Structure 1
Amino acid sequence: MAKILLLEDEADLRSEVVDFLCNEGHQVSEAGDVATFMPLIDAADIAIIDVGLPDGNGFSVAANLRKSHPRIGIIMLTARGSVDDKIIGLRGGADQYLVKPIRFTELAAYITAMARRVAPDNWRLNLIERRLHAPGGQAESMSSQEMSLLELLARNSGRVVDRPAIAKAFGADWLDYDERHLDQLVSRLRRRWQSATGFKLPLRTEHGQGYSFSVEIQVQ
């Protein structure tokens, strides 16, 4: 999980990117202009910056940001796809340069790689405390079934865990198990986590299959 600040003046695209990144488990703030963006930057691990802005130039914003915040991750997001523009962006301080229309999966991959440098803390599941810890320091106590679910997902990082396997982890026979109990468990956990922390839990529903935890999680 990374703290991301998005500077994009296209409201529809900004909303799509914010929703996607939140669903990936990141904390996301947004701005439609430089004046709104600058006061928020100190809290960010990664900045995603559009080039064409109503009150400034994204290249200049990135260059100034690199000087003032040398450790921050910077991704340029722009319709300007020429080689010269890309060189200007990368030489000016950007780590990555993405041309619109963007592929969200590609954006997510760059953020994951960048977060290893700028937000190195991991999600942690403490089996003794029965608590889930987020990289930002937030933590919540888990029920026994929530712990069983999260431990199973954590030990299968990067893979979808199907519903029969989850039922087995609960000590239930899949043939007799009511799937609605699992869906209700996940729904309650997501609501409680967001209410307590203010951001979404990266627990992803894989429709027709099961569930996965969309970021790396360490079991302690």
Structure 2
Amino acid sequence: MARVLLLEDEADLRNEVADFLQSEGYGVTEAGSVADFMRQVDLADIAIIDAGLPDGNGFDVTEQLRRTHPHIGTIMLTARGSIDDKIDGLRRGADHYLIKPIRLRELSAYVSSVKRRLGKETWRLHLLERRLYAPDGRFNEVNTMEIVLLQLLARNMGQVVQRPQIARAFGVEWIDYDERRLDQMISRLRRRWHNLTGEKLPLRTEHGQGYSFCENINVVE
């Protein structure tokens, strides 16, 4: 699970962003000041940084982070929307510069982009062993139908896999398929993973459409 450190002094916005990213499968730690941020930064994979802060400047924090923690991806999130401010933020080391008010889905896409660049969160579906491995090495046994589903999701990273497409991968026509079986399969897979690790499987329901896996999966023969 990628660890996001969110530096934002507006409590309501900070809580809203944190709740959303957690629902997307990220581990989120919150900081309302530069001092609080610096105490937690060593554990972060990705930092989201506001520009206007009570005890410092987000541009300076971004520049310092690039020098001291170059492995951490950085997204600036600020009301300062001039082109000069944006160029300044990017030159100081931000991977992306987002202007408030933000769209949460857009922010999620940028976080996912930074994560891919950093090479974080590579899951492995091992076909011979019939196991799904998390990036930290933990694994869960998967059955034949779950392997078919996960392979399909892996081939369509970043896209929603529609329910009829999943049914066809199972070798049946959607009109003849009881979609409750698919919902039950997803539920069992999530429940087993949570019971094993205490964490959410990054398998997202796209309501009214299908499913998507929120992380990269490498399929190993």
CA contact (8 A) 1:46 1:118 kept: no
CA spacing shift, 1:85–1:159, aligned 2, 3 Å: closer
CA spacing shift, 1:6–1:146, aligned 2, 3 Å: same
CA contact (8 A) 2:2 2:121 kept: no
Unaligned runs of 5+ in 2: none
Are residue 38 (structure 1) and residue 46 (structure 2) matched? Answer: no
Mapped to 1, the partners of 2:209 and 2:59 lie a distance apart of: 43
State the match for 1:161 in structure 2.
161
1:215 Cα deviation after fit: 3.4
- Percentage of identical aligned residues: 65
Mapped to 1, the partners of 2:199 and 2:96 lie a distance apart of: 25
RMSD: 2.6
Mapped to 2, the partners of 1:89 and 1:164 lie a distance apart of: 44
Give the TM-score, by structure 2 length: 0.83
**Given residue 118 of structure 2, which amino acid in structure 1 is its aligned partner?**
V
Of structures 1 and 2, the one with the larger relative CO (CA 8 A, separation 6+) is: 1
State the match for 1:19 in structure 2.
19
Unaligned runs of 5+ in 1: none
**Given residue 109 of structure 1, which amino acid in structure 2 is its aligned partner?**
A
CA spacing shift, 1:163–1:12, aligned 2, 3 Å: same
**Given residue 104 of structure 1, which amino acid in structure 2 is its aligned partner?**
L
Q: What SS is found at the alignment partner of 1:80?
A: coil
Q: How many residues align?
A: 220
State the match for 2:187 in structure 1.
187
1:27 Cα deviation after fit: 2.9
1:10 Cα deviation after fit: 2.1
1:181 Cα deviation after fit: 2.3
1:48 Cα deviation after fit: 0.6
Mapped to 2, the partners of 1:156 and 1:91 lie a distance apart of: 34
1:51 Cα deviation after fit: 1.6
CA contact (8 A) 1:22 1:199 kept: no
Mapped to 1, the partners of 2:190 and 2:159 lie a distance apart of: 20
**Given residue 22 of structure 2, which amino acid in structure 1 is its aligned partner?**
C
Question: Over residues 143-176 of structure 1, what are the superposed CA-to-partner deviations in whole Å (9 max), with x where a residue is unaligned?
Answer: 3332222122223334433323433444556445
State the match for 1:102 in structure 2.
102
Q: What SS is found at the alignment partner of 1:218?
A: strand
Question: Over residues 183-213 of structure 1, what are the superposed CA-to-partner deviations in whole Å (9 max), with x where a residue is unaligned?
Answer: 1221232233344444432222222222222
